[in-house]
Structure formats: structure tokens, C-alpha cells
């Protein structure tokens, strides 16, 4: 949001200029001038007029809102929250201090209390970040100002990646107060996120895991070169090849000579250039073991000499949390400084505004549109089924969309549709014309249904759906019927498949259960009733029927069980 507010992404003129203010709670103390004001490209910081020491500073920013004309989408202000959240993270990252718009969080982090699981005072683990007072010098103010200017000037995609890394770094530092493993993992992740997005890595077969590579090469020994190459390429496309190596290479590539020189002055046990690659490999391994196995860090990492940046464990060099935090901060900062900046950029940021969420549009706005496109059959069938389910549930105000115009187009275009769309549209045509009144049916409904009913006789998810809705017993044996139901559940989330509402899915299962009951296969019928209960959790009448059915077999009428009782 800070970059959007700068106006560099605007296509139109500025419509609103809002002066926003908020409080940041921090251990940062100004000490660089009488005015005690720090100006940056993304807002200003002012100390409060408290005679004693205060842990609050004022954040000010001029919010620029782009003109969007009249109508939907007009916004006068986002308020200060999105800006102060990002800016407090930038302060915390660049000035190595605690800063947050949350008083409760800041107070807890600076309380000097031992962590519940760490049993350690956080200010003894890393320098400065958790100190009671952190003094901001003129040099600090200048470094922050220059960093923010360069950060705001980045190309949008790079800016977003950097801000993700900074937020992850700051969150990792904050977690030092209560969870060393999570803190260590997040600090590693702050670099990994940049490495994945911006290292320009291209996977090669020789860089793939050696053990896996040998097994695959052995399996491909009898295949042609063309087939072997296609398989290897496909594997590389879906695998995160050597992410640990990319993390190490990216980190080392973004270390300036000063990291081992000026910045190492006064550091306890700074890591050497020769030891760094192995230490980075160990850090990545620790991150992976925590994510996958919740493996604790070696105790030596959390019980080292105060502020030591490296330690030896079984003759292997490791970065401590102190050492990893300095390295991550250096790498992220150096990455930012190497990126180009632009004054203006064409970029659609509309979905990146604060508070904007994306949600699927209700079917009444699109399901009846007479536009056919590849994949629309299953989408429109699914949308219409959701309306039917609401109607069947007896919810007040439920509606179904008039599909007559759409289905008229389907009638004319059915032979041109690809196979992925053909059957869903046929099913949609049948369902619509079987539930609406005679006056609302499409003009050629009878002829169309007679011509294409054979399509719905084969075993398919669409046929299963139609048979269930209208209580038709298909001409399949029980095994075919059950396999059709299983295939529906296996395929329902695929691109060209549909997913019926939970209520209708339960109906599909119960219809099959009734067929097993009629054929005296009661144990399978009981299993299927239980399956319906577990796929429609919370349905009281269905759960009640399950209990009764286990005690005494009786007819399974899914609509009577699942749908609300109609009062006489």
C-alpha cells in the first residue's frame, strides 16, 4: 500500500489528498535533532511531547487516492492502518528495533520476560532488537530515508516480493520471544522467498537430487532419448530443484565485502566466508526439519555465548539466531539496493488495495448468460445446481435463473461443443426443462430430450446427477453404479468437472444405498448411509436416519430424509 500511495502507479490524476496519522509503539528513541522528526518517501515519524521517555511515536502520511470517475469503485481513503502496518515493519527491519501499531505486542516483546517455551529473555538472544531503548542517530535516519526511497522506487513485482521478505523477517524476529524454531524457520524463509522469485534459476537434470536422479535414469534406460528427455523435463517442471542450493547461492551472491569486514567489527564469533556455505546448508536443513517434523533446533544454538553469531556442533558450523538475523537483513538490503528503480509504472493495482477480496460471483449474475466457451458447461451446471439446492432446502427468497435464452443457444450449437462441454450442457438442458412449468420450458424441449436422452444412459457423473434428481433407476448393475459414484468424487474438482452441492451429493449416495438395500446387500447399504452422513455433516435428520437404519432396514427415500418437511 505504501507504494500505491506514492502515486507512481496512477494512470489518472489525484482526486483526494488525505493527511493521516497513527501511533507506532516502539523502543526507538529519537536523538538526532531538536525537531525530532524523520521524513521519508513513505511518511514521517515524530516523537511525542512527553517529558519522560515514551515508547510511542507519531506516524504521518499524505495518502494519495487516484481519480476513478463516478460510479462503483470510488474510495476516499483506506485509513492509516495499511500504511502504518507496513511502515512499522520497515522501521523494525532497517533500524533493528521493535515497532508495531499494537501496544500489547510491543509491551510483551519489551517486557524482558522469559518466553514460555524458550525460557530465555529475548534481549539476551539478539542485540538491540528487544532492548528497552534503541537510539536513532542521524546516520540511522539517513539510512532509513535512503532505503525507503529506493524501496518505493522498485518495480511493482519486485516491491511486493521484498515486502513479503521484510514482513517475514520481522515476524521471525518477533517470534524469538516465544519460539526459537519458528523464528529460525521464518528468518530462513525470508531469504528463500526472494531466492525463489528473483534468482533467475533454471533447473538442469544434473542439479536434481542425485539419489532420485539415479532411480529415474535407471527406469528410463530402455526408453528412447526423446521419451527420456520429455520425462526429465516434466519432472523438473514440477519439482523445486535444489531449493536449498538456491538459498545458499542467493545468500552468498548478495553479501558485500563489508559483511566480513566493517560490519563484523565487534561481532562475537562472526562466521567466516569458508564456513558460510555449510552453515547455510545446515540452516536450510533445520528449517525443513521443523516444517515437516517439528524438529527442535540443536540445543547448542540456543545456549551459546551471548550474541555469538556462529557455533560448532559435531564439528559443523552453524549460524545462531543472532548470526542468521544479521545475514538475512544484509542479504535483503543488498538485494533491494541492486534493483532498478522507476518513477512511473503501468500496473493494475486495483485488486491489491487494502481490504479488497476476491469472491465467486453469485450464479444469478452469470449462469444464464448465453455465451458458450470452453469449460463453461460444467461451470454453468454447477452454478445452476447451487440454486436448485437452495430452493430444495426451503430457504426463503430462493430463486432459479431463467435459462431459456442460454439453452436455445445450446440447441443450435450442441454439435460444435467439445466433449468436455457437451454432456454437462445436455444434463443442464434436461434438468432445467424437467423442473420448470410447461410454460417456461424451452420451445424444442421435447425433441431435444428425445434426441439426446441416450447420452444420459451411459455411466457418467452427469447421468448420475440426473438420475438422482428425478429418482430414475439407471440400467446399470450395482458395481457399475458404485464405480460411477466413486469416479464422480474423484473427478469433481477437476477443471472440466462439476461439483454438486453437498445436499445433492448426499442424495446421490443415498440413491445408491437404496439400490443395495433392495438387493439385500444391507452391509453395503449401511456403509453408504454412513458415507452420506459424513459427506453432509451436521444434517440432523440424516444422522437420525443413520441410527434408525442400523437398527432396522427400511426404505431410503433421499428427498424425504434430506429436504425439510412440508407442512400440510
Helix (H, G, I), strand (E, B) or coil at 422: helix
192-222 exposure pattern, b = at least 16 Cβ within 10 A, e = fewer: bbbbebbeebebeeeebeeeeeeebeeebee
User: What is the structure's pLDDT at 568?
Assistant: 47
- Helix (H) or strand (E) segment spanning residue 418: none
CA-closest candidate to residue 366, choices 343, 383, 378, 349: 383
Instruction: Answer whether 57's CB lies under 8 Å from 24's CB.
Output: yes
User: What is the structure's pLDDT at 241?
Assistant: 53
- DSSP symbol at 16: E
Chunked into runs of 10 residues, the chain (568 residues) has average pLDDT values of 93 91 92 72 86 78 86 78 96 96 94 85 92 92 96 96 97 94 95 86 65 83 83 70 83 95 94 95 89 82 81 91 96 96 93 86 93 94 96 90 94 92 96 91 90 92 96 93 96 94 96 96 96 94 95 94 76
Instruction: Tell me the H-state helices in 368-469.
Output: 376-392, 404-413, 419-435, 445-452, 461-469
Sign of CA dihedral 363, 369, 372, 374: negative
Instruction: Answer whether 329's CB lies under 8 Å from 340's CB.
Output: no
Helix (H, G, I), strand (E, B) or coil at 285: helix
What is the C-alpha to C-alpha distance for residues 233 and 230, in angstroms, rounded to an integer? 5
CA-closest candidate to residue 6, choices 167, 150, 168, 141: 150
Helix (H, G, I), strand (E, B) or coil at 300: helix
User: What is the structure's pLDDT at 54?
Assistant: 63
What is the C-alpha to C-alpha distance for residues 12 and 429, in angstroms, rounded to an integer? 46
Give the count of beta carbons closer than 10 Å to the beta carbon of residue 348. 9
What is the C-alpha to C-alpha distance for residues 195 and 244, in angstroms, rounded to an integer? 10
Which residues, other chains included, contact 484 with Cβ-Cβ below 8 Å and sequence gap of 6+?
459, 460, 461, 463, 464, 476
User: What is the structure's pLDDT at 360?
Assistant: 87
What is the C-alpha to C-alpha distance for residues 298 and 374, in angstroms, rounded to an integer? 55
Q: Where are the domains of the chain?
A: 1-68+77-153, 363-562
Amino acid at each position: 500500500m505504501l507504494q500505491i500511495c506514492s502515486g507512481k502507479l496512477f494512470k489518472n490524476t489525484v482526486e483526494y489528498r488525505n493527511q493521516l496519522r497513527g501511533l507506532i509503539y516502539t523502543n526507538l528513541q529519537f536523538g538526532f535533532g531538536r525537531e525530532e522528526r524523520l521524513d521519508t518517501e513513505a511518511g514521517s515519524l515524530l516523537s511525542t511531547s512527553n517529558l519522560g521517555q515514551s515508547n510511542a511515536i507519531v506516524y504521518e502520511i499524505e495518502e494519495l487516492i487516484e481519480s476513478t470517475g463516478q460510479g462503483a469503485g470510488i474510495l476516499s481513503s483506506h485509513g492509516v492502518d495499511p500504511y502504518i502496518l507496513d511502515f512499522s515493519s520497515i522501521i523494525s527491519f532497517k533500524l533493528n528495533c521493535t515497532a508495531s501499531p499494537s501496544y500489547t505486542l510491543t509491551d510483551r516483546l519489551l517486557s524482558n520476560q522469559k518466553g514460555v517455551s524458550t525460557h530465555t529473555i529475548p534481549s539476551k538472544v539478539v542485540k538491540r532488537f528487544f532492548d528497552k531503548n534503541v537510539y536513532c542517530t542521524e546516520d540511522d535516519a539517513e539510512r532509513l530515508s535512503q532505503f525507503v526511497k529506493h524501496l518505493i522506487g522498485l518495480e511493482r513485482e519486485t516491491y511486493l516480493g521484498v515486502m513479503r521478505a521484510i514482513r517475514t523477517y520481522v515476524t521471525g524476529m518477533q517470534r524469538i520471544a516465544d519460539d526459537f524454531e519458528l523464528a529460525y524457520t521464518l528468518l530462513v524463509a525470508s531469504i528463500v522467498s526472494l531466492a525463489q522469485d528473483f534468482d533467475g534459476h533454471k533447473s538442469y537434470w544434473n542439479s536434481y537430487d542425485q539419489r532420485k536422479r539415479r532411480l529415474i535414469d535407471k527406469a528410463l534406460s530402455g526408453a528412447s532419448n526423446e521419451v527420456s528427455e520429455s520425462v526429465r523435463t516434466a519432472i523438473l517442471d514440477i519439482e523445486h530443484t535444489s531449493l536449498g542450493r538456491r538459498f545458499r547461492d542467493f545468500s552468498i551472491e548478495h553479501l558485500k565485502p563489508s559483511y566480513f569486514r566493517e560490519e563484523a567489527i565487534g561481532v562475537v564469533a562472526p562466521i567466516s566466508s569458508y564456513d558460510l556455505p555449510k552453515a547455510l546448508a545446515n540452516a536450510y536443513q533445520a528449517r525443513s526439519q521443523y516444517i515437516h517434523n517439528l524438529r527442535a533446533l540443536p540445543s547448542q544454538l540456543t545456549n551459546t555465548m551471548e550474541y555469538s553469531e556462529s557455533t560448532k556442533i559435531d564439528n559443523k558450523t552453524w549460524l545462531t539466531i543472532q548470526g542468521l538475523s544479521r545475514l538475512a537483513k544484509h542479504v535483503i538490503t543488498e538485494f533491494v539496493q541492486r534493483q532498478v528503480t522507476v518513477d512511473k509504472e503501468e500496473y493494475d493495482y486495483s485488486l491489491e488495495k487494502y481490504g479488497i477480496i476476491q469472491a465467486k460471483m453469485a450464479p444469478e449474475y452469470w449462469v444464464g448468460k448465453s455465451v458458450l466457451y470452453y469449460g463453461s458447461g460444467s461451470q454453468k451446471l454447477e452454478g445452476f445446481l447451487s440454486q436448485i439446492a437452495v430452493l430444495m432446502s426451503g430457504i426463503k427468497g430462493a430463486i432459479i435463473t431463467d435459462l431459456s435464452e442460454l439453452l436455445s443457444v445450446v440447441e443450435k450449437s450442441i454439435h460444435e461443443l467439445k466433449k468436455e462441454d457437451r454432456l454437462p450442457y445436455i444434463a443442464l438442458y434436461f434438468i432445467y426443462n424437467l423442473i420448470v412449468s410447461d410454460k417456461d420450458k424451452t420451445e424444442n424441449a421435447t425433441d431435444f430430450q428425445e434426441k439426446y436422452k441416450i447420452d444420459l444412459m451411459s455411466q457418467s457423473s452427469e447421468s448420475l446427477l440426473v438420475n438422482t434428481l428425478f429418482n430414475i433407476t439407471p440400467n446399470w448393475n450395482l458395481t457399475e453404479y458404485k464405480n460411477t459414484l466413486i469416479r464422480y468424487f474423484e473427478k469433481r474438482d477437476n477443471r472440466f468437472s462439476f461439483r454438486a452441492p453437498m445436499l445433492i451429493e448426499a442424495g446421490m449416495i443415498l440413491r445408491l444405498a437404496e439400490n443395495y438395500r433392495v438387493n439385500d446387500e444391507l452391509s453395503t447399504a449401511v456403509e453408504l448411509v454412513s458415507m452420506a452422513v459424513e459427506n453432509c455433516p451436521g444434517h440432523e435428520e440424516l444422522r437420525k436416519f443413520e441410527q434408525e437404519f442400523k437398527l432396522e432396514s427400511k426404505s431410503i427415500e433421499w428427498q424425504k430424509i434430506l429436504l425439510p418437511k412440508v407442512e400440510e
